[in-house]
Structure formats: C-alpha cells, structure tokens
Amino acid sequence: MSLQTFLFLIERIKEEKKYLANLYNNLQKDLSVLKNSKIINDTYWFEAAKNNAGKHIHDYYSCLEKLFEEIFLRLKEDLPDGKTYHKDLLIQAVTPLSGLRPAIINKDLFQHLDELRGFRHVFRNLYRYQLNTEKLLSTIERTILQHKKIEKSLDNFIKFLEEQVQEEVK
C-alpha cells in the first residue's frame, strides 16, 4: 500500500468518527425524548420521535458499513457479493488478515453491529410506524453503550495505519 492510502484512510476514519459522535449524541437525546411521559401520550409526536431515532440508528450503522467498504477497497481487498453481502462485510471487518491488517472490530462489536444491520433492514423495509417501541429503546441503549467500544476499535485501526505510515517513511 502507498503512504497516500494510509494517510487518506486515517483522515476518513477521523471524519466518520465525528459523524458517529454526532449520531451518538442524537441517540442520547432520542432516548430521553422517547422516555418522556408527556410525549408518550401524544401518538403523533411519539411516532415522529420513534422514526427520528430509527433514522439515527439506520445512519449510525450505514456510516460504519460505508467506512468498512472504503477501508477494504483502499486496502485492495475484495468486497463480498451476493445476498449475504451486508453480513459478509461485517465478517470481513471482524476477520484479521495476516500480513495485511488486523480485525477492525471484535466479536462483541460484530454481534452488536449485526443486530443494527437487522434493524436497518426492518427500518428500510417495513412501515416505520410498525417499529416495536421496546426493541427500539433497547437498540438505542445498546448502541449508546457500545459507542465507546466502536470508537476505541476505530482508534486502534488508526494506530495500525499510523504504524504503516511510519514504516513507509523509513
């Protein structure tokens, strides 16, 4: 890989981390709003708040998926194809490639992101008013809890890329 590739990926990951942090903050607000007793009694606003939160979860997962795709393409890895593309992409992210790169995420994060992948599918393909409130709240809470671990995983990958930069400049 070239020095430019590593430097570019470092900057892209840093930019996407900012976007993820913004979504994390939005999810914290969404959780507060959805637990507000005043809004629960107003069907219109409660459904609007659920849809908003669903969109934030959708965007959070999609951001990570696009980032994984970009990493794999820049590192000249093949992307999966076929009906299991999205799950296979997560499997690729959790799988270290000897001599090329470490795993980007660990198995615990893989499980959580796979749940978000499933949520995104439901969010995209069902009428949003059919979102199960308890499942939505649980997904928000788990995403909030996992956010720091996701940040740490991305930071660790940045460190790996920075080490590659150091090797290139020697």
pTM: 0.94
Per-residue pLDDT at 45: 86
Strand partners, 15: none
- Tell me which residue range forms the domain holding 162: 3-169
Confidence label for 106 from pLDDT (cuts 50, 70 and 90): very high
Structural contact between residues 64 and 104, judged by C-beta atoms closer than 8 angstroms: no
Of 28-32, 44-48, 68-72, 140-144, the poorest mean pLDDT is in: 44-48
Per-residue pLDDT at 131: 82
- Span 80-88, mean pLDDT? 95
**CATH code (residue 35):** 1.20.120
Residue 132 pLDDT > 90, yes or no? no
Strands of the chain, DSSP E: none
Residue 40 pLDDT > 80, yes or no? no
- Number of separate domains in the chain: 1
Structural contact between residues 160 and 102, judged by C-beta atoms closer than 8 angstroms: yes
